[in-house]
Amino acid sequence: MSDRYSNRKQIEHHRTLFVSDLHLGARCSEAQDILDFLKSCRAETVYLVGDIFDLWHVGKVHWSSVHNEIVAELNRFSNDGARLIYLVGNHDRLAEDTVRKYLPEAEFCETVLHEAADNKTYLVLHGDQADRRFLRWHVMTLLGSRLDAFLRGLDNRITRGRDNSQKKVFKRLIDLFNGMMAMGERFETLLIATAKEAGANGVICGHSHRPVVRRHGDMTYANCGDWVDSLTALTEDQNGRIELYRWRSEPAGSQDAPSSEPFRPAFGNGQRQGA
């Protein structure tokens, strides 16, 4: 198991790619980085490990031409012969119709067993299955989304024009909130236990926005991270090695401004858009 940074100068080839928590449609999603990352990857199998679309949060949907290109890039994997698997998360539990319409080749499920090249198996799921019962209520997801959007928007206004190298004030509150929701040792322990019950050698998940690959005894816990703050994914090479893949962001200012128009998906015909 290892942790490495991307090399955007060449196309990266992976046996398997695991990405989660893109939150496409939410204010917090780093759409341009997602698009650049996907364009840099080739894979035989792609797991979308939940919270890919985030369109059901009551507030304004943030969507631009970049988001349309992201969907086209996801379809590019299928068009190139890759297997595309969409695992539902807590923010996209209502996404099945959207996925079947705009990612027509994707398999839609809640959990799946992945067999790596070294014959080890991993239970792949979003991870909200380990939440306390009341946190799995849809109203709690909506409340969390609105609180997150409010705090991030307030943070942006307060810190506008200041040194961005300093961690933003309300980002600390968001991190503290996640910690209070027990997305730590308890979260990992429950998911490892679930993987053991499934007869797997480890678990691959998202949800907590805390990227890591580590051992729990003879079991592996691997978290994809997110594309809100960490900009990370998991990859598997041809030898079955699971790595944490960190994307280096381009300088600010390259991303399309979110559209101010009402949300009108224009995902196209599933062909790759752009260069």
Residue 103 buriedness (CB in 10 A; 0-12 / 13-18 / 19+): buried
Tell me the pLDDT band of 95, cut-offs 50, 70 and 90.
Answer: confident
**Average pLDDT of the chain, as a whole number:** 79
User: How do residues 157-210 score in pLDDT, each as one tens digit?
Assistant: 665 555 554 455 555 555 555 555 545 578 899 999 999 999 999 999 999 889
Q: Is the pTM of this model over 0.85?
A: no
Residue 147: φ, ψ to 5°: -65, -45
Q: Is the pLDDT of residue 240 over 80?
A: yes
Q: Span 113-137, mean pLDDT?
A: 81
Q: Is the pLDDT of residue 271 over 50?
A: no
User: How do residues 245-268 score in pLDDT, each as one tens digit?
Assistant: 999 765 544 444 444 333 344 443
Structure tokens at 78: 């299928």
Domains of the chain: 2-246 (3.60.21.10)
The pLDDT assigned to 94 comes to: 79
Q: Is the pLDDT of residue 69 over 90?
A: yes
Q: Which residue has the higher pLDDT, 252 or 121?
A: 121
The pLDDT assigned to 129 comes to: 78
Closest Cα partner for 139 from 220, 56, 229, 216? 56
CA atoms within 13 A on the CB side of 172: 4
> Quick one: which H or E segment has residue 65?
helix 65-79
Query: Dihedral, CA atoms, 244, 247, 248, 254, nearest 10 degrees?
Result: -170
pLDDT over 70 percentage in the chain:
66
- Separation CA 124–CA 224 (nearest Å): 11
